[in-house]
Structures are given as structure tokens and as C-alpha cells.
Amino acid sequence: MLFIPVSFVVALLLLIFLAQGIVSGGALRESRPFQALIILYAILSVLIGIRWGYGVLITLPLQSIFAAGWASLAWLSFRSFIREEGEISLSKDWCHLLPALLVVVLVEVWPDPIDIALIAIYLFYGLALLRLALSGPDRLNTVRLSEAPRTHLALWVTSIILIVFAGVDIFISYDFRFMDGQLSGLVVSLANVPALLILGIAASVVGKPVTEQEIEDANVDRAIEPEDREVLAKLEQLLESKTVYQDYDLSLDRLARKSGITSRRISGAINRLKGQNVSQFVNGYRIAEVCRRLVETNETITNIMFESGFQTKSNFNREFKRVTGQSPKEWRQKNPNVEC
């Protein structure tokens, strides 16, 4: 009977996720870094299957090179969601090619420390992504506010798995040194292969950055940096009078442009005065609009959801329950004359 490693199935699933994301026209369709990341995951999964499923060692150097490359690509992919950092460019980000190039050199001249190099690479980029995740979803200031929570969750998942991969590689090195590699195949099957699938899912659900024409330098220079309460008052006036929360493409960066206040000041003021991130703050206005229209109109919940600025039902239902404690249907039935 033909033996097909589970990792081959995982690679196929990753390519299906990629194809679905591109064909559906979602965020993945426009994100070349995350497309490349999923392809790398699929290649790694195949190489793992060849190594541990069939015991073929000739592809091991290639597996090490790809293993070094995906860590830096994951960092660059998530970092591209930060407006100040900008898009990935070779002239600026050439240094992130060094991990893969280091492994290439080690493969040719000194293979022994490759495992140590991979552990160091995983830890370095894992901790860098963890630091970015700890700064909160507002740090990803080019992502649509409605998509920021799931993108931030994907960031958390990627950072943790990178650190776990470092631990797995430490165990495998120990296993080969003291136990003749008896448990390594099982560990790879139970840890690395499922982790690659999870990483692929995380990469496929990230949000899409919102791009706009840059503001002229003169306009930026004239922007005033008021105190927190003044910032909040200006934001509340903007959201209430111009209903910008209805724009489902609204991002922190875009809100900063519309208000003339830096994204850092906006995020800081909302965090300190409201105890919320910007996404939760804006969604509060969206939910209030939904509540009003549930009472005053007979429109469908789905239509109200879209016209209030939400893009996905999952995000809408989650945020509505967070604010009201009920589902939209329950709220409409139980609160016919109550405003949020």
C-alpha cells in the first residue's frame, strides 16, 4: 500500500487555503508576502514528509534553508502592517535575508551548528513578533479596524509557534545526541506538522492594509497634538457628525488622516480614557447605530450590519454581544424601545 505522510496532506490543505483566498478576492489576494509565506509552509511540510515519512536525507539541507527563511518572512509580513515601517523592500530589508544565507553557508562549509543557528533564528524572530503582539492591535495601524483583532490574533499565533519551534528543535537535538533520535519523528508529527497547518490558517485570515494617498508635509506640520480629552472630544465629534465609522475600510491610519491627529495620540488617548483599543472604540459607535436601526426600521440585520460599517458576520456578532450582552435578534425582541 502506498504510504502518504500526513505532512503531504497538510501541504495540500495549505495550497487549497491559498487558492481559496486568492479566488475569493479577500485580503490574501492582495498580500504577496502572506501568499509567499503559505507557499513556504507548504514546501516545508512536503520536505518534512520526505525526511520523516520516507527517511530521505538528501533534502535536509533544503529544509533547513526554508526553515530559516520563513521566520524572517513572517516578521516582514506582519511588520508591513505598521505605517511607519512601510512596505517590504530589498534595499531596506536586505538584512533579513542573512538568516537563510547563513544556513546556506553552513550547509556548504560547516553543517554541525545548523540546528543551533535555527534555534537562534526562531527565538529572535519569535520574540520580535511577540513584542509586536504585546503592543496591541492598534500597532497594526494600516489594517482595517474591523479586521485588526483577527490579524492581531494571527500575529500572536505566529509568534508563539516560532518560539515553540525553537523548543522542538532543542528537544530534537537532545534526542539525536542522547537517544539516537528515537522520539524525533513522533515529535515532528505531533508538533511541527500541525503547527504548519495552524500557521497557514493564521496567514490566510489576516486583514488587508488600507492604502491612501500620502498627506502633504505642510498639512502634517500644521496638525495639533492636543491633550487626551481634547483628542477624544475631536474624535467623538468626527464620528458623530460625519459617521466615518460606517466606512468598513476605516483603519487607525485612515482615522488619523481624517482627524488630523497622529495615530499614536489617538491610540493613547482612547486607551487611557476609555480603557479600549481603537477598534473597540469605533465598534461602539457602529453597535449604537445598529441598535438604533433595529428599533426604528424593519431592515434585515445583515443589511444593518453592512451599512453600519461591519464587514463580516463573525466580527459583528462578537462585537454586538461584547457591547450589549445579547445577539442582535435577541436585542431586537427584548429591547424594542431602548437605545444602546
> Which tens digit of pLDDT belongs to each residue from 47-82?
998 988 888 889 989 999 999 999 999 999 999 888
Q: From CA 81, how far away is CA 133, in angstroms rounded?
A: 12
Closest alpha carbon to 278 in 135, 74, 138: 138
Rounded to 5°, the CA angle 189-68-140 comes to: 95
Please report which confidence band the pLDDT of residue 228 belongs to, taking 50, 70 and 90 as the band edges.
Answer: confident
Which of 107-121, 144-158, 183-197, 215-229 has the lowest average pLDDT?
215-229
Claim: this prediction has a pTM higher than 0.85: no
Q: From CA 123, how far away is CA 167, in angstroms rounded?
A: 9
DSSP symbol at 326: S
Mean pLDDT over residues 282-307, rounded? 90
Q: Which three cell numbers stand for residue 154?
A: 494571527
User: What pLDDT, on a 0 to 100 scale, did the predictor assign at position 226?
Assistant: 53
Residue at grid coordinates 483628542: 231
CATH number of 224-334: 1.10.10.60
DSSP symbol at 5: -
Report the 10 Å Cβ neighbour count for 333. 11
Q: From CA 264, how far away is CA 338, in angstroms rounded?
A: 35
Q: Which amino acid is located at 140 in the chain? A: L
Mean pLDDT over residues 137-153, rounded? 85
Closest alpha carbon to 168 in 123, 130, 128: 123
SS3 of residue 225 by DSSP: coil
Backbone angles phi, psi at 312, to 5 degrees: -125, 145
User: How large a percentage of the chain has pLDDT more than 90?
Assistant: 35
Distances in whole angstroms, Cα of residue 206 to Cα of each of 34, 128, 139, 256, 320: 9, 18, 14, 22, 21
CB 204 within 8 A of CB 28: yes
Q: From CA 121, how far away is CA 321, in angstroms rounded?
A: 41
Ordered alpha helix ranges (H), the chain: 6-23, 32-48, 54, 60-79, 90-93, 98-109, 114-134, 148-178, 184-187, 193-204, 217-222, 228-242, 252-259, 263-274, 278-296, 301-307, 313-324, 328-334
Report the 10 Å Cβ neighbour count for 4. 11
SS3 of residue 264 by DSSP: helix
CB 297 within 8 A of CB 336: no
Classify residue 3 by burial, with Cβ atoms within 10 Å: 0-12, 13-18, 19+: exposed
User: What pLDDT, on a 0 to 100 scale, did the predictor assign at position 224?
Assistant: 38
